[in-house]
Structure 1
Amino acid sequence: MSVTRRQVLWATAGIGAAGALAACSSGKSGSGPAADAASGAANEQPRAGGTLKVGALGKLSATTRDPHGTQANESDYLIISLLYDTLTVPGDKTNTAPRLAASWKPSEDLRTWRFTLADGAKFHDGTPVTADDVVWSLKRLRNTPSGKSRLPGIQPEGISAEDARTVVLVSDYPNAELPLLTRLTTFVLKKDTKDDALAGAPGTGPYLLDWYRDGNARLVRNDGWYGGKPLLDAIEVRIFESPQAMANALLAGQIDLASNVGAVAARTAAARKDVQVLRRPNDMAMPIVMRTADGPFADARVREALRLAVDRDAMVKQILSGYGSVANDILGAGDPAYAKDIPQRKRDLGKAKRLLAEAGFDTGKTYDLITTDDISGLAESATLFATQVREAGVKINVVKQESKAFWDATWLKAPLYTSYWGTNDSVVFLASKTMLSDAGMNETGWNEASFDETYRKAMGTADEAERTKLVHQLQEIEYATSGYLLWGMADGVDLAGSAVRGLPRLPGYGRVQLEKTWLAR
């Protein structure tokens, strides 16, 4: 499994179609008075000091210290994000906000982008960050096995330094959304950092490493951070293998924040007045992936039939415990340019059966749906899906695989499997990752010339209004013929103690931006 695959799915950074050039609404992200407290009451003034104890999901066997490596754990990504900065980050008002890059500007043809580094940016050892450091880091990232997906459309030779503070990225094609690509994985290291020195390599982030043991870490405030002095003295990250164990630790007062703990834990904690429940809409998609290139689901009529056989309301109610919303088979539901005018698919078993018959689909066979329990609700969604589509005459056998086997043998290959994506605030970001015919993570094996052509045209359009129209066309094509059956969008759910304030409200990986979080005690 590639780092980008895992990060984007949680972040996966909603990532918005308007990208760096359009505003995005953060949406409703809390639940009740406790959620209001998480942002701080109007009469409260942020205070410095204290240690925030954060729980995050992960497995000890999958820990990593490499910012550009395979990160199967949310706990690792949280630690790395606090130690190392990316060029840009998800923003409250714009989908792409400045971070290590203070500003960026495109050429007239939208192929060449110049990123200017933030004033005063330094590594934790006090040395200034230079464009050479960024170029070396981006080339290292691009040359990883999943580099094509991490920086789509950018070749290693298209990354250069113009001067000490200017990084130049040249795209293979005009790309009005290029800054969007630099949000989640472009962690910057010092030039020529050796692989065996990564564990202690200085970063540029708001916190410095105090200690790291068995997937757990203590980070202390970086008083010299170019982005301003963080409020907390320290953040301790504790790894948990299950959401329930993490929730129990929060309820017992052992940690202050249970990050991305899920709907079941939220429902359990809802009655506790001393616990804050934060909901971040459009946080995660858990689509059924139907392979379009070949196999039993290559016929678009079969894929349409399965979409019509699903009871989406029941899926959201039962799998997400109501902590989510019905989706319409289009990735990027949190995008300001999301096509809400496309008719919502509803269950129609009669039409589903007719389409299957027209396609000559063999209803006498049983088809494997492969899943994993990497995240809460994923395997359960496969089981309920199998029950529902049986009413249309389709027999499904749910096969649960261990995580490594799933990502090595099933993902990108199997005819029918589950997937999941976070950071769902951008239609075009996910299109570039998963739906273009040459996408590095083309999960469905989709090769649709009209989609590729519309995407390239949209990316080459500087006018925001015109680009939005083209993004709408992209969604219409995706809705009609892609290999995704996206039944719902899960809310991101965090639990926090009563003293925690200033938590980020963004979906996906926006939640790792803890530099403004503080403790009211």
Structure 2
Amino acid sequence: MLSKVKRAACYKAFGISAAFSFASLVTIPAHAQTITAVMQSGLRVMDPVVSTAFITRDHGYMIYDTLLGMNEKFEIKPQMAEKWEVAEDQKTYTFTLRDGLKWHDGAPVTSEDCVASLKRWAQQDSTGQVLMTMVSDIAVVDGKSFKVVLKEPTSLLLESLAKLSSRPAFMMPKRIAETPASESIKEFIGSGPFKFVASEFKPGLKVVYDKNKDYVPRSEPASWTAGGKVVNVDRVQWAAMPDQMTPVNALMNGEIDFIQQVPFDLLPMLENNNDVNVEVLDKLGNWTYYRFNHLHPPFNNKLLRQAAMHAVGQDDVLKALVGNPKYAKTCAAVFGCDTPYADTYGKDVVIPSNIDKAKQLLKEANYDGTPIVVLQPTDLAMVAPQPIVIASALRKAGFKVDLKTMDWQSVVTQQGNQKSPSEGGWNIFSTYSTLATSGNPFGNTTVAANGTKAWAGWPEVPEIEKLRLEFARATDETKRKEITAQIQKLAIDEGVVGPLGQFSVPAAYSKKLTGVLASPITVFWNIKKSDK
């Protein structure tokens, strides 16, 4: 059972009376079968085009759908699309929507909706931005079909529409998709397997999703984001609990059903529980990294970025983050180790901590003591330790560091702030990505380097953008490997991203749940819940 202190703290966080049971986090209709899950953080930023946060992406997969999906073999499969046809010159793709697609408000999904959604997505997404330089037109053919006309043949179109990483190409109603890409949408209606219950949403605390009874799943077996998204429960509710012990106790007591990420130090409590399954659902794992703000001092200076990269050691980070070597290893590759585009360039820079080299570079760069603002989330176990280790290493090297603590959703919001640190901006933040979504120059958001159009950090390295375009045009795998090796070198030399190593995170769930899918994205279709 939860201790009285922890139970009271949990109730207080959710704004409910301690007279109610833990299960009454939300109002549950009589006889409704519900999965209660504790996710990695609370949800506040809900527009999956505006944010790259995984919790926002996971929310997107609950209520939206994609034209194409990707299965566990990395094969691209139709999802909302019934089919696509390619012209003989390989430059015109015609997509036809499958029957039975409806928005959550009951309106039919049309090709106009899809065209508007693609155009908005492509304005913000780093892959979409490159893709649109190769597109001459996206146009409606009829109510169920639209075409994409390319300037030149490329595999990037299908790869973009099926990609798993942050900012997937989710489809929205036209009226919503016409919201400027620089602004957050205000209405959350998709065509996906779950409906967002706006009346029960408490930002940062809880989210409720009802089964979309009008959803028509595909007939193929579910695999990653492809196949049939069959929902077997009435609703799913996400609960945010910053105190990591609270969900662990709640799961053991049968008060919740699922924990997305179990802190490594608490694993033994669940591994020895006969009523709980502990499993790494993302078999490929994750890589963790940090980003410099290239727009403002001091990290607009390449030498100082290099100094910081020499100061920070991966072993120190992984010991603080994971501890157990079973779940972690060092890796210099920006596209991941043990992947087709793995590369060891820069291992002498990013793996060991070399404080003496860092001090030497600080002296060469005439570092003037400008404070380094490092963002640290306090409520996301898989990110909270990295900034502390980074700050410690930078201080040893001679940097002046200001560790700025906040919750993860505040970090997510702050990431897009391009103001100087003295005006409320930042110099460094850290996060992580799944390797399944980071293995090439387009799935990997961190290597885009087109200045203020790039992801947070805004590096400007024209050579990388040229190479990404060459990768999109290349059909020969040997050529693609040559290109990614050049990107690896530039990413390290220019401080585009600082790799901190690789790790896997176990999930834990009640044995009442069956059909939990192994996937790099946490999904709640296919799951059945026993009442016993």
TM-score where L is the length of structure 1: 0.73
For residues 175-186 of structure 1, the aligned pairs below 5 Å read 175-182=154-161, 183=163, 184-186=167-169
Matches of 2:497 and 2:255 in 1, distance apart? 40
C-alpha displacement of 1:495: 1.3
Residue ranges of structure 1 left out of the alignment (5+ in a row): 1-48
The superposition leaves residues 132-180 of structure 1 with CA deviations (integer Å, 9 ceiling, x where unpaired) of 23123334555xxx73558323389843223444333456886532333
For residues 359-438 of structure 1, the aligned pairs below 5 Å read 359-362=364-367, 367-373=372-378, 375-401=380-406, 403-404=409-410, 407-408=413-414, 411-413=417-419, 414=421, 416-424=427-435, 425-426=437-438, 427-429=440-442, 435-438=448-451
Q: Work out whether 1:518 is the aligned partner of 2:518.
A: no
Matches of 2:193 and 2:503 in 1, distance apart? 29
Q: 3-state SS of the aligned residue for 1:82?
A: helix
1:57–1:239 Cα contact (<8 Å) kept:
no
Out of 302, 315, 321, the position equivalent to 1:313 is 315
Q: Work out whether 1:453 is the aligned partner of 2:463.
A: no
C-alpha RMSD over aligned residues = 4.1
Stretch deviating more after TM superposition (147-156 or 232-241): 147-156
1:51–1:232 Cα contact (<8 Å) kept:
no
2:515–2:528 Cα contact (<8 Å) kept:
yes
Distance 1:347 1:437, change over 3 A: same
The superposition leaves residues 480-503 of structure 1 with CA deviations (integer Å, 9 ceiling, x where unpaired) of 323322212342432111232232
Out of 100, 106, 109, the position equivalent to 1:129 is 109
The superposition leaves residues 57-76 of structure 1 with CA deviations (integer Å, 9 ceiling, x where unpaired) of 5547x375x676669783x6
Stretch deviating more after TM superposition (422-431 or 467-476): 422-431
1:63–1:73 Cα contact (<8 Å) kept:
no
Q: 3-state SS of the aligned residue for 1:307?
A: helix
Query: Which one-letter code corresponds to 2:336 in the other structure?
Result: A
Out of 53, 67, 86, the position equivalent to 2:36 is 53
Distance 1:261 1:341, change over 3 A: same
Query: Which one-letter code corresponds to 1:238 in the other structure?
Result: W
Matching residue of 1:237: 237
Matching residue of 2:279: 278
Distance 1:296 1:412, change over 3 A: same
Distance 1:298 1:78, change over 3 A: closer
Q: Work out whether 1:188 is the aligned partner of 2:171.
A: yes
Matches of 1:366 and 1:451 in 2, distance apart? 29
The superposition leaves residues 347-405 of structure 1 with CA deviations (integer Å, 9 ceiling, x where unpaired) of 25266246416623438665333333362243432122222344444443322246547
Identity of aligned residues (%): 20
Distance 1:281 1:224, change over 3 A: closer
Matching residue of 1:26: none
Matches of 2:344 and 2:473 in 1, distance apart? 24
Q: Work out whether 1:91 is the aligned partner of 2:97.
A: no
Query: Which one-letter code corresponds to 2:461 in the other structure?
Result: E
Q: 3-state SS of the aligned residue for 1:428?
A: coil
Q: Work out whether 1:505 is the aligned partner of 2:518.
A: yes
The superposition leaves residues 406-430 of structure 1 with CA deviations (integer Å, 9 ceiling, x where unpaired) of 7348745556211324344333125
1:293–1:445 Cα contact (<8 Å) kept:
yes
1:281–1:492 Cα contact (<8 Å) kept:
no
Stretch deviating more after TM superposition (453-462 or 164-173): 164-173
Q: Work out whether 1:344 is the aligned partner of 2:347.
A: yes
Give the number of aligned pairs.
463
Q: 3-state SS of the aligned residue for 1:168?
A: strand
1:89–1:96 Cα contact (<8 Å) kept:
yes
2:441–2:447 Cα contact (<8 Å) kept:
no
Matches of 1:164 and 1:234 in 2, distance apart? 32
Query: Which one-letter code corresponds to 2:139 in the other structure?
Result: S
C-alpha displacement of 1:506: 2.2
Residue ranges of structure 2 left out of the alignment (5+ in a row): 1-31, 180-184, 220-227
Matches of 1:87 and 1:334 in 2, distance apart? 30
Distance 1:63 1:291, change over 3 A: closer
Distance 1:363 1:128, change over 3 A: closer
The superposition leaves residues 67-102 of structure 1 with CA deviations (integer Å, 9 ceiling, x where unpaired) of 76669783x654542332122334211164432134
2:334–2:342 Cα contact (<8 Å) kept:
no
1:86–1:187 Cα contact (<8 Å) kept:
yes
